[in-house]
Structures are given as C-alpha cells and as structure tokens.
Amino acid sequence: MRPRSFFIFLCVVVATQSYSQHVPSFEEVISLRSAGTIALSPDGKNVAYTVQSTDWADNNFDTEIWLSKNNQEAFQLTNTSKGASLSPKFSPDGQWLAFLSNRGNKTQIHVLNMKGGEARAVTREEENIVSFEWHPSGTKFIFLKPEKETAEKKQLTSRYGGFETDDKDYTHAHLWEIEFNPAQPDPSEFPCYETVDSLKAKAGCIEWPKAVRLTEGDFTISNFLVSPDGSKVAFTQQPDQSINSFLKADISIFDFTSKKITTLVNNPSADRLEDWSPDSKEILYATSLNDSVANFYTNVKLFAIDIESKKTRQLAADLDENLGGLSWISSGIYASVWNKTNRPVYKIDPATGEHSVWLNTPHQIFEIRFSNNGDQIAFTGRNGDQLTEVFTSATAKMNAKKISDFTGQIKDWKVAQSEVISWKSKDGETIEGVLHKPKDYDPKKKYPLLVVIHGGPTGIDTPTPVPAYVYPILQWLDKGSLVLRVNYRGSAGYGERFRSLNVKNLGVGDAWDVLSGVDYLDKKGMIDKNKMGCMGWSQGGYISAFLTTNSDVFKAISVGAGISNWMTYYVNTDIHPFTRQYLKATPWSDEAIYKKTSPMTNINKAKTPTLIQHGEFDRRVPIANAYELLQGLRDKGVPTELIIYKGFGHGITKPKERLAATWHNWQWFNKYIWGEEVTLPVK
C-alpha cells in the first residue's frame, strides 16, 4: 500500500471507530425520542402511536402522534404548537383517528380523517377532557371530565380567598356523551341572526352538538369502557380523587336505554375494571377483595362476573404476579406480566382460568392492541440492547415486524453492555441485578462501582442500552466504572412472597440486598472497593439514605426524593396507607418499627458525603425529609449538599432541570470517587 493511501485509509478507520464509539452528551440522552401509547385500526392495517420528544426552547417534553399505514414506515401525523396530542383511537370503521389535544382551549377530543386533511375539534368543553372512547356505532363519543366549579365555591373563593379542607374538598369526574357527525358543517358557514325582541335570541343558526351528562352522584370515575354491543358503559368509581381513595373503588354499569346506574362489584377493598367480554355479557376485573392492609404489595385477584346473574369466577389464580392492562378477545384474555427481568404476554383461558406464555419475543412486551377479529396485533416492546419499539404481527403465526426505529438513535453511541446476575443476600434470599459494563470491559481489571437503586419499591430494573433518568450512567461507564442496578426485595417480577419480604423490614433488608451484591462483585475480583458510590430516586433515594447512615462502604451517596424519617413521612405524605401497610403500624402504635427502618435513627454513625436532590413541591415524599437529613448530616460534620428543583413534585419532568440534576450527580461522584472538581458549564 502506498504511504499516502495508507494514511487516508488510517484516517478513515480512526474516524469510523471514533464515530462508532460516540459517547453521548447528557443533552443527547435526555433528547432521545421514545414510544408511548399505541392504537391499532379495526382491520389491523394501520398503527398510530405517540412519540415523546424534547423541546429545549420551551423546556418541556412534547408528545405527538405518528402513523404507520400497512406496516410501512411511520410518519408524524400531528404537530401541536404549544401543546401535545395524546391517546389516539381509531373509529369503529377505521375512517377516523380521534385523539386528545389542547390547542388553546382546554384539552378536547379532535378527529382526523384517515384520507387526509386537518384535525378538527369535536368537543368544546370548559373543562379539560380526561379520557374518551368511541361508541361502537361510531356516531358518538363517551368522555370523562371533571365537574364545573360550583357557584358556591366561586363565591367562597371571591370572599375568603383560596383554602381547602384536607380530604374533603374534591371535584368529581363524570361521564358525558356527544354526537359525532362527520358531515356536520361549521357554524360559520351559515349566517346567524339575533331577533330584534328583548330576548335577543339567535335564530337560524348552525349549532355545535352539545354534550349530554350520563352519570350523577357523590363519587368520581377513574376509568371506563363501553360494551362491545354499545348498550352499556362499565366504570370504576371511588369516593373522591385522592390517591388513597382507590382502596374503596367499586365497579358500576350505566345502561344507555334505562339511563340507570347499577353497582356490579363492591368488595370492601379496591376493585378495578379491566375489560368487557366480546359478547358484552361479562366484565373482567381485578380486585383486592377485602384486603385493605396489604394490597400495596400483594397480588390482585382476577375475576369475571356475569352482569345479569352476578355470578363470578376467578381466573389465573396461580399466576404469581400483579395483573393489569388485560385484553379480552374471542380467542382468550391477554396480558403482559413481569417474569423476573422479562415481560412476556400471557394468555388466560376465560373458561378454565388456566394461563400460559403466549408471546415472549422481544424479551419485554408492554402495551398490546388487537384488531377487531383478533387476527392482528400491535405492541410495544424491546430486547435488552434496544430502546422500546413498535411491532406488528399476524396472530395466527407470530412473526413480529418492527415498524419503528427508536434504537437507530443510538446506533453510533457507546452504550451499556448489560448482564443479569444473581447472588445470595444476608438472609439467604436470592437477589438479581443488572450489571452494566463498559464496552471495552477487561476482566483482569478492578473497576470503580456505582450502584443505582430503582424506586417503587415495586419497580424493576432490566437490561437496557441507555439507563439514565438523572444519572449519567453511560458517561460513568465510559469513564471506566461498573454500574449495578439491584432488584432488591419488594421489586416486581419475582412474585408476591418476594414483594412481601421488606414488610416490617424496609431499608434493613433492602440494604442487605445492595451490600451483598457489592460483596458478590468484590469476591469475583471485579471492583475497587475504595471507589464506590450509591444513588437512587424515591424508594431508591430512601434506601440510599438508609445506607448513608447505616454503612460506610461507599465514598459518596446521592439521595433523590428519599425518605429520611418514617414518622416525618407518615404525617406529611399523600399516601399514608403505604406506610401503615409496609410497617404494619402507625408511629403511635409501634414507634420501634419506625425507628428501626428510618435513616435518621443512626444519623450519629453517618460518615458518607451525601448529595440530596428534591422537588420543591413533592407531596409523595415531602421536602421535610430532605431538610431533616440535611441538618442531621451537617450537625455530624458530614459533607452534604441539598439541591431543590423549583416548581417540581416527586419527579424532575422538564429537560433543563433534568440536565441540571444529571450534572449535579456527575459533579458529586466525580469529586468523591475520582477526586475531580467539575464546574457546572455555563457556555
């Protein structure tokens, strides 16, 4: 090879290798587009799905609808200025696509003709529409919206300003219907005159269809489904909109002919509507029966009920995992369910209740949709080296075709190499975790270790090429570290017994699982125990806080929206039953269990430099937890910082603040693990 040719060849190779091993910036990770909800046309030929993208200029995450026709490449269908388009649903004849969007006048139902044209609003409500369904006739919509503010409430506010009584002042949500006439002319197409009499009534006008209220009562509706024959609407109702009200949810039916509401399922604890049977004679529902003391971590029970005889039968009684998002079609009942770090689709026989795995490729399957006759399916899912994609297939012979390409965004990135590992915890329990390695991992080296703990506690971590949120995991991997994400006791996917293992043992058992995972990697000679950090958000933040006051094995810890004192948490959170169920007591009935599981109890032992991150208006884990941990660590002389993200609740839901939180973790761990001072970049 001639020298010049070799030089050009070398440059090309180096450039190609550099390009193929691109380490993304924090902004690039946050800017990844992702798949959301999907809709399959009745004939199974078209798929609509939402795509979330990042709008840095307006500092938000936008959602728009994309469309794939006949399994071809998808294209963007909506482009909502200063808003989003959500919840796509095809009309029963497949000629229209309806969706929710706020285009300057509250969230309304809009429709698009599948032959082309602009979207137009079908509703003009004064309140935001929460959800909607097509009536099977295709001639009307059923929708859910909150009630208007009463005149009395307006007068009270006008006179006394803003106030509310805890657990009393709620606005209910109820069902309405509105006609849909595709040929409806716009009122502006015909003149509208006022009469000259004193009433000034309008005459000869074209009027928009007016919504008609369907349900009344001192309750709020959380979800609903129209029966396949169009004669009834089933809905889940609960006393009010508070998060704890779900514990008293029941299921009722509204009959279009009689206009009457009949309560169908009213167990003492939570009942949740899942689906109608194809013949409209039965309803599928999930229930906690009479359990209101353990249903945060125990399995719901699945039942079918005959709406006439009220006879019930339990289904999939031995499927040991929480069930939800079920679809009942003529061939059976289908649901995707966690099975350790996989999520296959199970098929349940509605006659016998027996279940079996029906689809397990790709490894994790999420939302599923069937065509009218069940011969086509669309679903979202991914393997461990993919981002979530949209797939379609004929059901007679499953051969999933990927019709999206979200993973293409990372084809030139240096991504995480994922491996599921397992070890024994302190009490002999088998724990799994996802170990991420750098692309150039060398088994002869010992690496710094960063542990990232998921929330929940009934969350789950799975293999993925881009683990993120507010943790710069890809960048740490490229810096030369390992990252372990622990599916500690209480995680989903491992059955009811496993989810129950941290009852009266929160923090304590979870810490065993994390620390035993660290010991497992150490015994294999993989990690440098002098360079280890730990972090997490929500329940992961709580476990991180517990570790910062009960262990000194980590050199740095980050506590994201974490609980520091169960007593403080119990009296401030919006989900008091969560604490009572897991700790089996109130602070006044068993102070000892609250002390045993609280990070603050052993604050005098704390040594680990700790970053605390918290949303200003967090109601799930109120910010008092952050200040209590901060002051305790400061009093002990432990290096600590509290960063408050202005205007946020429990999660960091805007890109700029998510970027800031990522940088704050990068600064903290780089300082205490690698000894580097990192300045937050301005330019």
Question: 537-563, pLDDT tens digit by residue?
Answer: 999 999 999 999 999 999 999 999 999
Pairing of strands 482-487, 447-453: parallel
Q: What H or E segment, with its residue span, contains residue 227?
A: none
Mean pLDDT for the chain overall? 92
DSSP string, 271-330: EEEEEE-TTSSEEEEEE-TT--SSTTTSPPEEEEEETTT--EEEESTT--S---S-EEET
| Burial (CB count <10 Å: 0-12, 13-18, 19+), residue 276 | buried
* Distance, CA of 191 to CA of 21 (rounded, Å): 65
Residue 6 has pLDDT above 50, yes or no: no
16: its two tokens: 């190609």
Q: Is the pLDDT at 460 greater than 70, yes or no?
A: yes
Residues 6+ apart with CB under 8 A from 71: 45, 47, 392, 401, 403
Q: Which of 134, 45, 148 is nearest to 97 (CA)?
A: 134
pLDDT of 67 strictly over 70: yes
Instruction: Quick: pLDDT tens for 186-224.
Output: 777 777 776 655 556 666 687 788 999 999 999 999 999
- Give the model confidence (pLDDT) of 97-138 as tens digits: 999 999 988 999 999 999 988 899 999 999 999 999 999 999
β-strand pairing of 202-203 with 193-194:
antiparallel
Q: Where does the pLDDT of residue 528 fall: very low under 50, low under 70, confident under 90, or very high at 90 and above?
A: very high
Q: Which fold has domain 31-149+173-189+198-216?
A: Neuraminidase (2.120.10)
Residue 251 makes CB contacts below 8 A (sequence gap 6+) with: 234, 235, 236, 237, 263, 264, 265, 266, 271, 272, 273, 283, 285
Beta carbons of 601 and 628 less than 8 angstroms apart: no
HSE-up (13 A, CA, CB side) for residue 565: 20
| Separation of alpha carbons 296 and 430, rounded Å | 22
Q: Are strands 34-40 and 60-69 parallel, antiparallel or unpaired?
A: unpaired
Nearest to 534 by CA among 504, 506, 513: 513
> Encoding tokens for residue 610?
């700790």
Helical residues (DSSP H) of 587-654, grouped into ranges: 591-596, 624-635
Q: In whole angstroms, give the CA distance from residue 171 to residue 121.
A: 25
CA 229 to mean position of chain CA atoms: 31
Asked if pLDDT for residue 344 goes beyond 90, the answer is yes
pLDDT digits (tens, 9 = 90+) for 370-422: 999 999 999 999 999 999 999 999 999 999 999 999 999 999 999 999 999 99
184 — pLDDT class (breaks 50, 70, 90):
confident
Task: Return the percentage of the chain with pLDDT > 70, whole number.
Answer: 95
Mean per-residue pLDDT, 584-601: 96
CATH hierarchy code of domain 414-674? 3.40.50.1820
Q: Is 117 exposed, middle or buried (0-12, 13-18, 19+ CB in 10 A)?
A: exposed
**For residue 103, with 0-12 CB atoms within 10 Å meaning exposed, 13-18 middle and 19 or more buried, which class applies?**
middle
Distance CA 522, CA 529 (A): 7
The helix (H) or strand (E) run that includes residue 340 is none
DSSP of 10-22, one letter per residue? HHHHHHHHHHHTB
- Could you tell me which of 118, 19, 134 has the C-alpha nearest to residue 77? 118
For the chain, what percent of residues have pLDDT higher than 90? Answer: 84
CA dihedral 431, 437, 441, 443 (to 10 degrees): -10
Q: For residue 17, is pLDDT > 60?
A: no
What is the structure's pLDDT at 12? 34
Mean of pLDDT values over 132-153: 92
64 neighbors 80 (Cβ within 8 angstroms): yes
Residues pairing with 306 in the sheet: 282
Nearest partner of 613 among 637, 635, 578, 645, judged by Cα: 645
* C-beta of residue 252 within 8 angstroms of C-beta of residue 292: no
Asked whether 631 and 654 are in contact (CB, 8 A), the reply is: no
The whole-number pLDDT of residue 11 equals: 37
Residue 219 has what DSSP assignment?
S
pLDDT for 202 equals 67
List alpha helices for 385-469, DSSP H.
Answer: none
Rounded to whole angstroms, what are the CA distances from 431 to 21, 427, 552? 33, 11, 22
Triad 574, 129, 107: Cα angle to 5°: 105
**pLDDT tens-digit series, residues 475-520:** 999 999 999 999 999 999 999 999 999 999 999 999 999 999 999 9
pLDDT value of residue 194: 63
pLDDT value of position 15: 37
Q: Is the pLDDT of residue 13 over 60?
A: no
